[in-house]
């Protein structure tokens, strides 16, 4: 049986953090769950999909994060418990809706779960959603371990219903993609409930039966601020705020989220349990004023430990200013004092170093020259740069785009977007991509470049976009470009799914997350309906793609679309299936004397094609090669051979 569905209260299982979040939602009786895929958030929805049939949940991979929030809100408005989840920047995408949702209020419990990535382990930003809780005036909960991920998500639904407002529960990479043993609570009975109903017959401002609107603002904003005062009161006695340490510590550490585990370990590494008090806050906005006042009064030195920006630190300092007469003189340490960085991830040893400094305790590494030896070894280990997978269609696409731009010769460039093909900015994509910003921004920015011809700019402008990103927000940029006749070549890299995050479905596919047959929206037909030229090609046809692109760059004005279609090498339809058995004919490979300057291994850089130093020839690494056959077309000597696999 799936551990997520284990009905036994008190059963203990090793759960991925994102599974713990899903289990918390299941224990709360969630009925709608929506999200847009993004690391480290994706497994929350993936886990709820495993439970969807048995727990009668509607689960959706929405077209983008704003839609995920909107669909989840509809469930809440009709009285159902709903959850939406996304990676950190997804909250920015949906924040406009969230701003208005806070003011209009919710009905069934609604919980937003951003899974954030301090240090950008798998992101190109380390954005934060915490500030939104303060800016939009919604409660913020930050679990400090795996058990709390489940328990706090479970409780967040109760809180949301009590105050009729959306509640944010924030996770981070080390929790979402960590695992820990979690003790399960009961799953609610799925009794026959009356069908959900959206009620609007009540008077204006009636939270359960009125029309939902954010105005008159003086009333709705006042109501929201009263809700937050109630939340602050509830947070004063929350069991998710814990303290361990002496009554009057030398140093009080205030922390939240995964940093709680790093702090606890750091204190243990230093054996400083008798000196340091550890106040872990699970409720980080609004801050419980009296609770903090008590602990701040217990010491004169406070270290605030959190990742990236000083959200907690600044808010605690502001509170301390108000409480100055009660808590007495207090020295604060953290980011403003220069003890902790305002970017990147923290680790137990980084916290230990700061604690050691503040406590005057020595903190040393391995004695006996071990560290010197380790540094020597580290210097002999080659870096492992990110690369497109063997058999990846993007490598072939960027090869053709890069060649076409060179042939054109007018310093054309590519505006990139978000997905595996972001790596087009690195050597694995031949540095073809020259800029990367937000989801859908490639074509958006390109639609601006496409207007600069009127100032005499002659560089060809290319935008690349994946199929899922196209539907997410790319389509908006394309509409803008087409409408304004921007001179842009829009290349849709269609690999048949949201590949980077694990093949979640999107509106271009015939089945949705629940496996239902849905209407598949064909980007080719959508683009053609815009009245522009649309070509379809196979990225593995290097020569054909290159010729087509050179031709498109000659066109005057307007948007030209090229859809390059080939399934991802890791997709269910291609994985473990090799089309060709590849080999290098050592007699034909010219090695160092080849005029191509080792195009195959030095430039093309597929991990499946390696350089045999002893023989001075290229060689196929049969463990790695996916048998796509593309490299055969780049060898000028015809030394790379493909043999069809029966």
CA angle 106, 159, 139 (to 5 degrees): 80
Decide: is 609 part of the binding site for other proteins (CB under 8 A).
Answer: yes
Among 159, 258, 312, 327, binds other proteins (CB under 8 A): 258
Decide: is 280 part of the binding site for other proteins (CB under 8 A).
Answer: no
Give the whole-angstrom CA distance, residue 2 versus residue 77.
Answer: 31
Q: Do residues 622 and 578 lie in contact, with contact meaning Cβ atoms separated by under 8 Å?
A: no
CB-nearer residue toward other proteins: 325 or 597: 597
- Pseudo-torsion of CA 51, 38, 111, 96, nearest 10°? -140
Among 210, 293, 348, 453, binds other proteins (CB under 8 A): 348
Decide: is 368 part of the binding site for other proteins (CB under 8 A).
Answer: yes
Q: Do residues 504 and 470 lie in contact, with contact meaning Cβ atoms separated by under 8 Å?
A: no
Q: Which of 592, 599, 593, 640 is nearest to 619 (CA)?
A: 640
What minimum distance in Å lies between the beta carbon of 584 and other proteins? 13
Give the whole-angstrom CA distance, residue 455 versus residue 198.
Answer: 54
Stretch touching other proteins by CB under 8 A, among 129-137, 315-323, 370-378, 530-538: 370-378
- Decide the pairing of beta strands 283-285 and 331-333: unpaired
Decide: is 14 part of the binding site for other proteins (CB under 8 A).
Answer: yes
Q: Do residues 34 and 60 lie in contact, with contact meaning Cβ atoms separated by under 8 Å?
A: yes
DSSP E strands, 6-89: 12-16, 32-35, 58-61, 82-87
Q: In the range 95-134, which residues lie near other proteins by CB under 8 A?
A: 117, 121-123
Give the whole-angstrom CA distance, residue 203 versus residue 209.
Answer: 7
What minimum distance in Å lies between the beta carbon of 326 and other proteins? 34
Decide: is 646 part of the binding site for other proteins (CB under 8 A).
Answer: no
Decide: is 593 part of the binding site for other proteins (CB under 8 A).
Answer: no
Q: Pattern 509-548, binding to other proteins, x per CB under 8 A?
A: ----------------------------------------
The site that binds other proteins (CB under 8 A) totals a number of residues, namely 68
Decide: is 435 part of the binding site for other proteins (CB under 8 A).
Answer: no
Decide: is 273 part of the binding site for other proteins (CB under 8 A).
Answer: no
Decide: is 362 part of the binding site for other proteins (CB under 8 A).
Answer: no
Decide: is 427 part of the binding site for other proteins (CB under 8 A).
Answer: yes
What minimum distance in Å lies between the beta carbon of 388 and other proteins? 7
What minimum distance in Å lies between the beta carbon of 266 and other proteins? 8
Question: Which tokens go with 551?
Answer: 């031709």
What minimum distance in Å lies between the beta carbon of 382 and other proteins? 4
Decide: is 638 part of the binding site for other proteins (CB under 8 A).
Answer: no
Give the whole-angstrom CA distance, residue 133 versus residue 169.
Answer: 10
CB-nearer residue toward other proteins: 106 or 176: 176
Stretch touching other proteins by CB under 8 A, among 289-297, 314-322, 387-395, 540-548: 387-395
Give the whole-angstrom CA distance, residue 222 versus residue 205.
Answer: 12
Decide: is 349 part of the binding site for other proteins (CB under 8 A).
Answer: yes
Question: Which tokens go with 290?
Answer: 């009296």
Decide: is 381 part of the binding site for other proteins (CB under 8 A).
Answer: yes
Stretch touching other proteins by CB under 8 A, among 57-65, 222-230, 272-280, 363-371: 363-371
Q: In the 3-class helix/strand/coil scheme, how is 244-275 assigned residue by residue? A: ECCCCCCEEEEECCCHHHHHHHHHHHHCCCCC
CA angle 415, 420, 423 (to 5 degrees): 55
The DSSP result for 128-170, as a single string, is -SHHHHHHHT--EE---SHHHHHHHHHHHHHHHHHHTS-EEE-
Q: In the range 18-77, which residues lie near other proteins by CB under 8 A?
A: 39-40
Give the whole-angstrom CA distance, residue 508 versus residue 242.
Answer: 48
- Decide the pairing of beta strands 251-255 and 276-280: parallel
Decide: is 383 part of the binding site for other proteins (CB under 8 A).
Answer: yes
Decide: is 634 part of the binding site for other proteins (CB under 8 A).
Answer: no
Stretch touching other proteins by CB under 8 A, among 51-59, 171-179, 449-457, 581-589: 171-179
Decide: is 386 part of the binding site for other proteins (CB under 8 A).
Answer: yes
Decide: is 500 part of the binding site for other proteins (CB under 8 A).
Answer: yes
Decide: is 146 part of the binding site for other proteins (CB under 8 A).
Answer: yes
CB neighbours of 263 closer than 8 A, spacing ≥ 6?
253, 255, 278, 280, 305, 351
Task: Read off the DSSP letter of residue 603.
Answer: I
What minimum distance in Å lies between the beta carbon of 150 and other proteins? 13
Among 78, 320, 336, 603, binds other proteins (CB under 8 A): 603
Query: Residue numbers of the site for other proteins (CB under 8 A)?
Result: 12-14, 39-40, 117, 121-123, 145-147, 173-175, 177-181, 258, 261-262, 264-265, 269, 347-349, 352, 365-366, 368, 370, 373-378, 380-389, 420, 423, 427-428, 500, 570, 598, 601-603, 605, 607, 609-611, 621, 623-624
């Amino acid at each position: 049986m799936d551990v997520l569905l284990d009905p036994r209260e008190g059963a203990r299982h090793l759960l991925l953090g994102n599974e713990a979040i899903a289990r918390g939602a299941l224990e709360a009786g969630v009925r709608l769950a929506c999200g847009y895929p993004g690391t480290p958030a994706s497994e929350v929805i993936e886990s709820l999909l495993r439970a969807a049939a048995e727990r009668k949940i509607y689960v959706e991979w929405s077209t983008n994060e704003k839609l995920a929030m909107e669909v989840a809100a509809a469930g809440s408005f009709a009285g159902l418990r709903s959850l939406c989840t996304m990676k950190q920047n997804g909250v920015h995408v949906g924040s406009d809706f969230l701003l208005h949702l806070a003011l209009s209020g919710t009905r069934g419990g609604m919980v937003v779960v951003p899974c954030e990535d301090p240090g950008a382990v798998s992101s190109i930003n380390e954005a934060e959603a915490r500030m939104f809780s303060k800016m939009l005036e919604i409660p913020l909960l930050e679990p400090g371990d795996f058990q709390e991920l489940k328990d706090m998500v479970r409780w967040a639904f109760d809180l949301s219903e009590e105050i009729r407002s959306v509640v944010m529960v924030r996770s981070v990479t080390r929790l979402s993609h960590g695992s820990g043993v979690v003790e399960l609570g009961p799953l609610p009975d799925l009794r026959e409930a009356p069908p959900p109903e959206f009620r609007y017959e009540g008077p204006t401002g009636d939270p359960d039966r009125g029309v939902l609107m954010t105005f008159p603002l003086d009333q709705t904003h006042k109501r929201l601020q009263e809700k937050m005062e109630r939340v602050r009161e509830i947070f004063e006695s929350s069991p998710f705020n814990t303290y361990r340490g002496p009554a009057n510590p030398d140093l009080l550490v205030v922390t939240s989220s995964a940093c709680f585990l790093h702090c606890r370990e750091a204190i243990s590494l230093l054996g400083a349990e008798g000196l340091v008090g550890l106040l872990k806050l699970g409720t980080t906005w609004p801050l419980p004023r009296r609770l903090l006042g008590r602990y701040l009064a217990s010491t004169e030195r406070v270290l605030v430990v959190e990742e990236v920006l000083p959200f907690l630190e600044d808010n605690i300092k502001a509170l301390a200013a108000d409480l100055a007469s009660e808590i007495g003189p207090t020295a604060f340490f953290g980011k403003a004092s220069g003890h902790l960085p305002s970017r990147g991830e923290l680790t137990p040893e980084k916290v230990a170093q700061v604690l050691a400094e503040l406590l005057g305790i020595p903190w040393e590494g391995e004695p006996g020259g071990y560290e010197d030896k380790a540094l020597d070894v580290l210097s002999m280990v080659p870096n492992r740069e990110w690369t497109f997978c063997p058999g990846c269609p993007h490598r072939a696409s960027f090869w053709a785009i890069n060649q076409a731009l060179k042939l054109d010769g007018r310093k054309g460039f590519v505006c990139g977007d978000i997905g595996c093909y972001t790596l087009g900015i690195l050597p694995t994509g031949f540095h073809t991509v020259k800029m990367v910003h937000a989801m859908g921004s490639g074509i958006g920015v390109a639609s601006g470049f496409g207007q600069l011809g009127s100032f005499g700019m002659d560089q060809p402008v290319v935008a690349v976009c994946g199929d899922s990103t196209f539907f997410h927000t790319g389509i908006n940029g394309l509409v803008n470009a087409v409408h304004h006749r921007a001179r842009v070549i829009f290349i849709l890299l269609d690999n048949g799914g949201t590949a980077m995050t694990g093949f979640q479905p999107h509106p271009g596919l015939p089945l949705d997350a629940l496996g239902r047959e849905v209407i598949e929206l064909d980007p080719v037909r959508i683009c053609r309906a815009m009245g522009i030229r649309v070509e379809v090609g196979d990225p593995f046809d290097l020569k054909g793609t290159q010729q087509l692109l050179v031709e498109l760059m000659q066109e005057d004005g307007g948007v030209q679309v090229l859809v390059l279609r080939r399934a991802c090498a890791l997709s269910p339809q291609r994985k473990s299936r090799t089309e060709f058995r590849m080999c290098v004919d050592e007699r034909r490979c010219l090695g160092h004397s080849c005029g191509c300057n080792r195009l195959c291994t030095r430039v093309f850089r597929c991990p499946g094609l390696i350089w045999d130093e002893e023989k001075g020839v290229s060689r196929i690494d049969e463990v790695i090669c996916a048998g796509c056959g593309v490299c055969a077309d780049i060898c000028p000597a015809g030394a790379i051979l493909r043999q069809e696999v029966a």
